[in-house]
């Protein structure tokens, strides 16, 4: 009875909040937890749960997993709009629950904030947890990487039956599988890709067990790659899914060749060709995470890879918005590695496309914007001959301008425009026909900027 009332109340609150055009998803969950404190433990036993956590790639990986489920005609619940803390997850689950306390859906695929996992995992005891990677992210809010990692391990230590899907190329993720008794499955690369530069490993350079410096058989980006410790021997485990040939990266998609193993018979390896319909090196890892999970579900990997080809990018990492015959491409930037990757994508185009960097410093963005000094804006120098303009905007637009100045860019091309309407007009005006206008917003800037696009062009609201 108490459950029915709570479910009813949450559904009602969600409806009311939507009428007032608020995407707010945390309030109903907070109220539910007040009425029924252990509600998460009660509801989670009624549906198969998948958590996706890690610094970068959570949103995209969740969408890839749900794309695969969809292709198999399996119903699922997901927390699309970034409601990835305990209250948002409670709202998502209760809003989907029927009044009889059951779910029509078979799976709940939930993005979980990496700092919140510590408290959420013991409540829900998820069936599967995917960990994408660990990079420095908003240190002022989350504390040190190592604290975060121990928090994740601590949260999972009360879930011995949870199956783990881990990025084998990330020594932090790999250490989770080593330290916990859980069944663990890994994905990673057998070849190098991207342009690794000496000295670019800033996070996780040293062995988590013995502090010796890792060596690499090959690198992809950041600290990711085929690492091993020369002192204690800590290294990657058997990869269930591996990128086995150099991927072909274009501005629209990535062609990959995967070797997919079989945990029961390591001789039995399938080679599958696929296309990820979104660019960016990091999306190769996201795709492999989703495919590895689907293999652990027992799905035919060939069908999962095919399902990814129909994947659509949504609210979150990257979104393309067609305006006439031009495309405004928004790429969320929230930390050093993510911003570097986004710039990498932009530079790899080497086309006369304008770019805008919109930086806010509200709580959700991280109050401290000094991380911008670690982003390699210097490399934009490679394309400044062809790029017509670098716009700066947001509450900290002035700081962004200063950063570009110190990056040595031609200041005649850098323009501060605080008004978003004007920014859209100016940017699109110099975007070539059939070309792209790249916009790199921080989190709250993305929300505001997107609101303006909804008003002006009637694009979908993000919680739909």
Name which of 276, 258, 287, 275 is nearest 64 in CA terms. 287
The distance of closest approach from Cβ of residue 227 to Zn ion in the complex, given in angstroms and rounded to an integer, is 10
Told to check if 269 binds Zn ion by CB under 5 A, we report: no
The distance of closest approach from Cβ of residue 212 to Zn ion in the complex, given in angstroms and rounded to an integer, is 5
Cβ count near 50 (within 10 Å): 26
Look at the block and give the residue holding tokens 């409540």. Answer: 123
Name which of 240, 280, 286 is nearest 56 in CA terms. 286
Closest to Zn ion by CB, 210 vs 215, is 210
Name which of 55, 34, 28 is nearest 339 in CA terms. 55
The distance of closest approach from Cβ of residue 233 to Zn ion in the complex, given in angstroms and rounded to an integer, is 7
Beta-bridge mates of residue 164: 129, 184
Which two structure tokens, joined as six digits, stand for 51?
Answer: 């958590």
Closest to Zn ion by CB, 56 vs 175, is 175
Query: At 34, which helix (H) or strand (E)?
Result: helix 26-35
The distance of closest approach from Cβ of residue 211 to Zn ion in the complex, given in angstroms and rounded to an integer, is 7
Look at residue 137 and give its three-state secondary structure: coil
* Residue 181, phi-psi category: left (phi > 0), alpha (psi -120 to 50), beta (remainder): alpha
Residues 416-435 that bind Zn ion (CB under 5 A): none
The distance of closest approach from Cβ of residue 206 to Zn ion in the complex, given in angstroms and rounded to an integer, is 8
How far is it, in rounded angstroms, from Cα 107 to Cα 271?
28
Residues 386-415 that bind Zn ion (CB under 5 A): none
The distance of closest approach from Cβ of residue 133 to Zn ion in the complex, given in angstroms and rounded to an integer, is 20
Closest to Zn ion by CB, 107 vs 227, is 227
Closest to Zn ion by CB, 208 vs 239, is 208
Pairing of strands 390-393, 270-276: unpaired
How far is it, in rounded angstroms, from Cα 197 to Cα 217?
14
The distance of closest approach from Cβ of residue 174 to Zn ion in the complex, given in angstroms and rounded to an integer, is 12
Cβ count near 312 (within 10 Å): 10
Strand residue runs (E) in 332-389: 355-358
Closest to Zn ion by CB, 188 vs 204, is 204
Closest to Zn ion by CB, 68 vs 174, is 174
Total binding residues toward Zn ion, as defined by CB under 5 A? 8
Closest to Zn ion by CB, 149 vs 423, is 149
Look at the block and give the residue holding tokens 């390896």. Answer: 269
The distance of closest approach from Cβ of residue 215 to Zn ion in the complex, given in angstroms and rounded to an integer, is 10
How far is it, in rounded angstroms, from Cα 326 to Cα 427?
11
Please provide residue 413's backbone torsions phi and psi, each rounded to the nearest 5 degrees: -95, -10
The distance of closest approach from Cβ of residue 192 to Zn ion in the complex, given in angstroms and rounded to an integer, is 22
How far is it, in rounded angstroms, from Cα 428 to Cα 425?
5
Largest CA distance in the chain: 67
Closest to Zn ion by CB, 48 vs 178, is 178
Closest to Zn ion by CB, 234 vs 353, is 234
Q: How far is CA 139 from the centre of its chain?
A: 17
Closest to Zn ion by CB, 213 vs 273, is 213
The distance of closest approach from Cβ of residue 137 to Zn ion in the complex, given in angstroms and rounded to an integer, is 24
CA dihedral 439, 445, 449, 450 (to 10 degrees): 100
Closest to Zn ion by CB, 237 vs 327, is 237
Site string for Zn ion, 197-236 (x = CB under 5 A): ----------x-xx-x----------------x-xx-x--
**DSSP letters along 233-262, please?**
--B---EEEEE-S--EE-SS-EEEEEEE--
Look at the block and give the residue holding tokens 């080679």. Answer: 271
How far is it, in rounded angstroms, from Cα 446 to Cα 456?
15
Query: At 429, which helix (H) or strand (E)?
Result: helix 420-429
Residues that bind Zn ion in the complex, under the rule CB under 5 A: 207, 209-210, 212, 229, 231-232, 234
């Amino acid at each position: 009875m108490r459950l029915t009332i709570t479910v009813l109340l949450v559904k009602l609150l969600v409806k009311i909040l939507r009428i007032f055009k608020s995407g707010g998803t945390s309030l109903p969950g907070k109220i539910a937890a007040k009425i029924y404190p252990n509600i998460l433990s009660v509801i989670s036993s009624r549906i198969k749960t998948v958590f996706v956590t890690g610094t970068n790639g959570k949103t995209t990986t969740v969408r890839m997993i749900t794309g695969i489920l969809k292709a198999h005609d399996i119903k699922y619940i997901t927390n699309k709009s970034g409601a990835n803390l305990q209250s948002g997850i409670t709202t998502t689950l209760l809003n989907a629950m029927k009044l009889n306390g059951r779910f029509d859906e078979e799976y709940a695929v939930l993005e979980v904030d990496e700092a919140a996992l510590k408290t959420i995992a013991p409540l829900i005891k998820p069936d599967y947890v995917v960990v994408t990677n660990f990079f420095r992210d908003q240190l002022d809010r989350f504390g040190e990487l190592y604290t975060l990692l121990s928090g994740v391990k601590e949260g999972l230590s009360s879930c011995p039956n949870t199956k783990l899907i881990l990025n084998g190329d990330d020594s932090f993720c790999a250490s989770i599988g080593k330290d916990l008794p859980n069944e663990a499955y890994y994905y990673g690369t057998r070849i190098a890709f991207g342009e690794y530069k000496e000295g670019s490993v800033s996070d996780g350079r040293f062995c988590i067990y013995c502090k010796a410096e890792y060596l690499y058989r090959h690198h992809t980006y950041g600290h990711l790659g085929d690492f091993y410790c020369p002192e204690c021997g800590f290294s990657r485990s058997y990869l269930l899914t591996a990128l086995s040939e150099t991927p072909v990266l274009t501005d629209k998609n990535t062609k990959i060749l995967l070797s997919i193993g079989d945990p029961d018979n390591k001789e039995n390896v399938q080679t599958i060709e696929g296309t990820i319909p979104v660019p960016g090196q990091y999306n190769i890892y996201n795709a492999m995470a989703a495919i590895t999970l689907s293999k652990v579900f027992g799905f035919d990997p060939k069908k999962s890879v095919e399902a990814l080809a129909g994947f659509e990018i949504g609210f979150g990492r990257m979104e393309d918005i067609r305006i006439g015959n031009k495309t405004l491409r928004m790429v969320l930037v929230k930390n050093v590695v993510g911003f570097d990757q986004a710039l990498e994508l932009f530079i790899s185009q080497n086309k006369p496309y304008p770019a805008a960097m919109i930086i806010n410093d509200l709580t959700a963005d991280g109050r401290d914007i000094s991380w911008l000094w670690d982003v390699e804006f210097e490399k934009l120098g490679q394309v400044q001959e062809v790029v017509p303009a670098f716009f700066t905007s947001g509450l900290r637009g002035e700081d962004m301008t200063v950063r570009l100045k110190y990056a040595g860019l031609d200041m005649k091309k850098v323009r501060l425009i605080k008004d978003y309407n004007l920014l859209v007009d100016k940017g699109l005006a110099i975007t070539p026909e059939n070309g792209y206008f790249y916009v790199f917003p921080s989190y709250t800037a993305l929300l505001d900027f997107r609101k303006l696009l909804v008003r002006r062009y009637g694009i979908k609201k993000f919680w739909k």
